[in-house]
Structure 1
């Protein structure tokens, strides 16, 4: 073991300042000299350390311990190089063959690692220590309690539809995984949660999975506000908790075309086609949608392209009406495009035969 010159000097002190007066001179009666007794005070050491990545981890995780050792010299704390550092890990938490010892570097720092064992559900305290030597006292530091749990993850989470119609139920699905491998986990509680501000979460619905698998929430409760949504698994003594990604769902009022018609049918070429309809919106009560922008489209027979023919607005009763010159067979429709507060809707298509 390497030691600094200062430590070696401390261990080798033989100055008369450390000799008892009676032992410093020869005994005149027997002609012998008594052995000198030496007293050397050991210097105290202090260990500081931390362990990561977390205190609750899955089997097979590599845990890393970082720390340092300082000796309390007369001039103040000083680093010590070459000290052997021991990790104390309960056997139930340790993978066989893990390295548990290391030595300090020139700056007194050290780094050690060990692999977590496979016994899920085990917990125990981990410490790091220096045993001490002829010139330094031993010391140790607690690294906290290490918990071995299966790892869980919620993937593919989605809340639909988006945007969401006011007072419609929400559907949310995803998948819960528990790793490593098939751990026999059963009766797994899941909670669908919502938040109006993205900070405070409340439970909307709950279910229990027989095993890790795909899940769907389709509760009959009606949604009336914009909200953030997530799914949470609270974990157990054998499995770590997990939370899905967050999905923001914008709630808007639904709209629907109650009436739509393009007439007359058939119509003489060069004649007039009248396209009209009535748009409703669904808030707490259904009512006509006044002053709503409407776009009229036409698709000529034998083609797939819709061409915008006019832009207009509904009256106070939700009605619009537009007239067009009949030039070819084709299909008509009206579109209300999505806005900040309302979901868009498209009327049924109506085909007019031009003769």
Structure 2
């Protein structure tokens, strides 16, 4: 009896162990549900008509029990390539996967697709075909082609623009070659490549270095015929030359109030010597003032030199200014300070008469730009006759054909009254000495002496 109890207990223990061993298997996960894939939808539907330009198609794949989906496309001639990552959207028991692809006018024909769904070690796929077609060849032409601005400085950027039409409508997404031919060149060359936008408009900036002509060219495609625009010209302006005023001088310095000041200088420009026939304005700024006022003006001669005069009123700065002309920029000279002194009151006693004798300008004729020498003698009346006198004497010049005497320079005679000075000669004309007098003597002038200036 005891033996049977032991056998029964052992059997019960074995049975319990068997149940324990079987427990993990009974608790394992349920089998993976089968992966399913539906057909691929294409919008717009096949055939995709690219006659009017590129078309973007949307591909949709429906799957069930899949973790991932991919879509590959193969052109009429070529291999499968992925369209990229698909967008996942749950739809009840299914999942919708979407992606897009842009189709051009080439290549056309029958394309293939391969959709694949994977999950839990399972894989399902769906395949098929669709067509990309050009229904007819479009007639193209350019409209509103032009360049702006039509005149530009060398190195500026001009905008070349226009519109490409296909069968009378704007043709978007097309490549247009912008070509240029220089004024002295026989061939067009491509200077830019651009793409038409909405309604066929296009435009691009081109740096211009010479005058010439632009055109736009559209090369023929499977969907459209080629075309060439009308011509649009552009002119390159020559850059303005800079000018300058050399040697501006206001004299004499100092000067008595009410006396005349003479202004001289030379107007020059780049790539030229003197700039002739241009008006130069002489301006004055009084001491303590910040304002310049125009006082007088002069027109430059053949070599760009100018002469002008004005009455001395107050101490201050003088300068010459050129406003510029077509092709030449304006300029302003350095400023020249002149001190104006109050003239001495008239003498209480009578003054002696004066005279200048023996005036002579030599050697003559003289080559242009060379020095002339001037001599004479300043004398004053004395009880016993005439005697030499030391005084301040000015040299003056009047150009042939002119009515105006121009101040040249001032100097002093010796104690014996001897006068000697030299100055450059630029034009033919008359010369003279002028003694304005002083507290003891009246002023006087010499005779005039004509000197011819030669160019060689």
Name the one with the larger strand percent. Answer: 2
TM-score interval, normalised by the smaller of the two chains: 0.3 to 0.5
Q: State TM-score, norm by structure 2.
A: 0.32
Give the structure with higher Rg (CA): 2
